[in-house]
Amino acid sequence: MAKILEEKCETCSKLNSGCCKGCFEEDDKSIFVGLTDKELDFLTDGKQQIKYNPGETIVKQNTTSTFVVCVREGLAKLYVEGIKGKNSIVRLISKHDFVTGGGLFNGNIQKFTISAVTPVVCCLIDSSKLVKLFGENNQFAVEMLRFHIKQNNYLLNKLVNQTQKYMPGRVADTLLYLENEVFGESTFSIPLTRQELAEMSNMTKESFVRILQEFKSSGFIKTNGNEFQILNESALLSVSKNG
């Protein structure tokens, strides 16, 4: 069961609940970079760090939520629950990812589900505070709009790729995404089942495993259980490009 995290930063440990502004990553790419200390204090007042165990739901599709999620540690999957129990994993979210749920300015209805893949530590922020700062701080508003545009562009590209590419191209895209966007290295261990990897590629488990074996036989990749090694990235890029 999810629980309020007891081990926090030194400042946070002095609080009965919530956590401090020091929990935000000081990064030029952060959408919070334009906030003043006073605005960060306002934003973090009452914010709580929650720890979720693997398999636990952080956000549930089609429910109303009054918070947004900032991931501090761990790996989670963001997916759309389709008909007849068929899921489509949109992307993985990890450290420093910020997820609004798509309903920040639209009734706070969540458009997808987020569940923990590994133990996940995240901060839950009152969405009404973000809306207030959006209207008061122009730089923050611009950064948030840029963030949403980037996410929308990613979703559009993924939609086009998964509807117009053949299955080998989709599997190649998934492997390249894991290598470059999630883990940042050519050898990685992914705590996902083959079924979940298939859901990332919009295909059946059987088709995904078959194409994965073809890639192994061609010397593009090497696998050992959940450990993957990309041996020929240029070949995967070629398969991805040609669909």
Helix, strand, coil percent content, the chain, rounded in steps of 5: 40, 25, 35
Residue of higher predicted confidence among 228 and 62? 228
Quickly count: other Cβ atoms within 10 Å of residue 52's Cβ.
23
CATH assignment of 3-161? Answer: 2.60.120.10
Out of 75-79, 102-106, 207-211, which region has the weakest mean confidence (pLDDT)? 102-106
Alpha helices in the chain (DSSP H): 37-44, 127-136, 138-164, 167-177, 194-201, 205-217, 233-242
What is the torsional sign of CA 172, 178, 180, 184? negative
- Pinpoint the alpha helices (H) of 3-137: 37-44, 127-136
Least confident of 61-75, 186-200, 224-238: 61-75
- In the chain, where are the structural domains located? 3-161, 165-242
Whole-number pLDDT of residue 101: 58
Q: Per residue in 14-26, pLDDT tens?
A: 333 334 455 555 5
What pLDDT is recorded for position 213? 97
**Is the model more confident about 156 or about 66?**
156
Q: What is the pLDDT at residue 2?
A: 55
- pTM above the 0.95 mark? no
Chosen CATH of 165-242 out of 3.20.20.140, 1.10.10.10, 2.40.37.10, 3.40.50.2300: 1.10.10.10
Mean pLDDT over residues 133-157, rounded? 88
Query: Rounded CA gap, 10 and 107, in Å?
Result: 36
Give the mean pLDDT of 188-197.
95
Give dist(CA 27, CA 13) in Å, integer. Answer: 23
